[in-house]
A and B are shown apart, each in its own frame.
Chain A
Amino acid sequence: MSERALRAPAFLVLTSLAGQPQHGYGVIEDVLRISDGTVRLHTGTLYALLDRLREAGLVEVDREEIVSSRLRRYYRLTGSGAARLASEAARMQRDAGVAASRLRQLRRAGAAGAL
């Protein structure tokens, strides 16, 4: 997990937890907000993701609360989770920069061809 590029849902979950420790429902809602409504995590998917991220040491349990006689577990980013998110964000930024620069070149070439 540490070497491969993170998939969009995992990246968004880490991003969500970078803001503050959150419980499962909070993460789902936050991911929906961050992704502008495009990524709607199902409950099973969220917990499969959280399990994998916990196993990789990127996320850990922050605290547990009992709300309406039901357990609510809050998760937070670990130090290596923050580092991983930072490197992933930098990689995506770099890739996005390259894509933008190539698109600019393409537009310039298109404009020159039109002349």
Chain B
Amino acid sequence: MTRSRGTRRTAHALLERRYRRLLGWYPADYRTANEDEILGVALARATPDQRRPGAGEAASLIVSGIRLRLCLLLRSLHGPGWRDAAAIFAILGAVLLAAIHAQSLVAQLVPGAFREAGPPPAAGIALTAGWSLVAAAAMLRWRWATAAGASLGAAGEAALLAARYASDPSFLVLSWWQLTLAVMTALAAVTLLAAGEGGNRPLSWRAITILAGTAAVLAGAPAIESAFSTVTTAHGVGSAVPNSLSGIQGLWADGLVAGLALTLLAAAERLSPAACRRLAVLSVPVAAAAAVTGWGLRGFLASSPRFAHPVLLAAAQWAALGVVPVLGFAAGMILLGRHERMLRLVAAGQYDAS
């Protein structure tokens, strides 16, 4: 009898623990307010020796939790935080992509430029013009045009990489961050569409001027580098040798991109902290893609061009390219949720930050 009661108690504790785990699918705030009550009902329905929630019960809790999270996410898109962040990210992404493609075109025109070969000129011109139009549409808050243009642009970037992959896999690896940026720009544009009407002009005229200036410098970087290099002749063959200024030549692109990021900060002066945090989350996949290609696939980039026949990416390398940016975004969203929950608790006086 005592043993049977003990067994039941163990079963009950096990069942409760499993139900609590299932309730983890619900948003934290909702759990705080309702977990005890839902748990009480779920346990009241259980049979005395039941150790696991029934399949139907488990499915209903998981589906309800996910649906509630999605509802909260959709509702938060209508708030100023996501709307402002998405509007600014759509502009910055489109401007940066237009500048990068313009840079490839300039590199093809300037003799002796220290740049990797970009896409064919026709594709480069189309992408530069396309992303410039997307940036203009985003600045003018033409939400449908921004979303359609950015989605087309992302598809164009993907098509460009796919077309060249078989003959030049390094190009795909080097350009992966651009594709990620294009996808995130399209995602931001679609988010803007879902957020509906409203919101102020995303950037001030001063910020737009700084942004345009930075984009122009970025696009003209090959010409600037070339101007600061000298041509020496060795054994009758001319080769461009960078002079003292070119100590930074390898970092030109990164430096200018960082400059663009600083522009973003300048523009963000007027942004709420919530929008800045979301802007950072939207940037995480791009940084993650750059990290994978810059560090994770450094060996591939060094060895692939040495073979007569190009060495293609292995399945694990493809997985890293695809999964790491997505994981980065998911981690960013989770951290954002936790951080803002903590801020809410601090504001409500229910959390001791010390």
Q: Which residue of A lies closest to B42 (CB)?
A: A43
* Residue tally, chain B, CB below 8 Å to A: 21
Contact A73 B37 (CB under 8 A): yes
Contact A25 B41 (CB under 8 A): yes
Contact B37 A24 (CB under 8 A): yes
For chain B, residues 134 to 158, give those with C-beta under 8 angstroms from any C-beta of chain A.
none
Which residues of chain A come closer than 8 Å to B60, judged between CB atoms?
A: 42-45
Q: Which residue of B lies closest to A27 (CB)?
A: B41
Contact A48 B37 (CB under 8 A): no
Q: Which residue of A lies closest to B62 (CB)?
A: A44
Contact A28 B45 (CB under 8 A): yes
Contact A42 B57 (CB under 8 A): yes
Residues of chain B whose beta carbon lies under 8 Å from any beta carbon of chain A: 34, 36-42, 44-45, 56-57, 59-65, 67-68
Q: How large is the interface on A (under 10, 10 to 19, 20 to 34, 35 or more residues)?
A: 10 to 19
Contact B45 A44 (CB under 8 A): no
Interface of chain B: mostly helix, strand, loop or mixed: helix
Q: Does A71 contact B (CB under 8 A)?
A: yes
Q: Which residue of A lies closest to B64 (CB)?
A: A44
Contact flag A25-B44 (CB < 8 Å), given A44-B62, A47-B34: yes
Docked Cα-Cα span, A42 to B56, in Å, equals 7
Interface of chain A: mostly helix, strand, loop or mixed: helix
Which residues of chain A come closer than 8 Å to B38, judged between CB atoms?
A: 24, 43, 47
B8 to chain A, nearest CB (A): 15
Q: Which residue of A lies closest to B65 (CB)?
A: A44
Contact B57 A72 (CB under 8 A): no
A19 to chain B, nearest CB (A): 18
Docked Cα-Cα span, A28 to B41, in Å, equals 9
Q: Does A4 contact B (CB under 8 A)?
A: no
Which residues of chain B come closer than 8 Å to A48, judged between CB atoms?
A: 64, 67-68
Q: Which residue of A lies closest to B71 (CB)?
A: A51
Q: Which residue of A lies closest to B30 (CB)?
A: A51
Q: Which residue of A lies closest to B67 (CB)?
A: A48
Complex A-B: 15 CB contacts under 8 Å: A23-B41, A24-B38, A25-B40, A25-B41, A25-B45, A42-B61, A44-B62, A44-B64, A48-B68, A67-B40, A70-B36, A70-B40, A71-B40, A72-B40, A73-B37
Contact B40 A44 (CB under 8 A): no
Q: In the complex, which of the residues A24, A44, A46 has the most CB atoms of chain B within 10 Å of its own CB atom?
A: A44
- 7 smallest CB-CB distances across A and B, nearest first, come from A44-B60, A42-B60, A44-B64, A24-B41, A44-B61, A71-B36, A70-B40
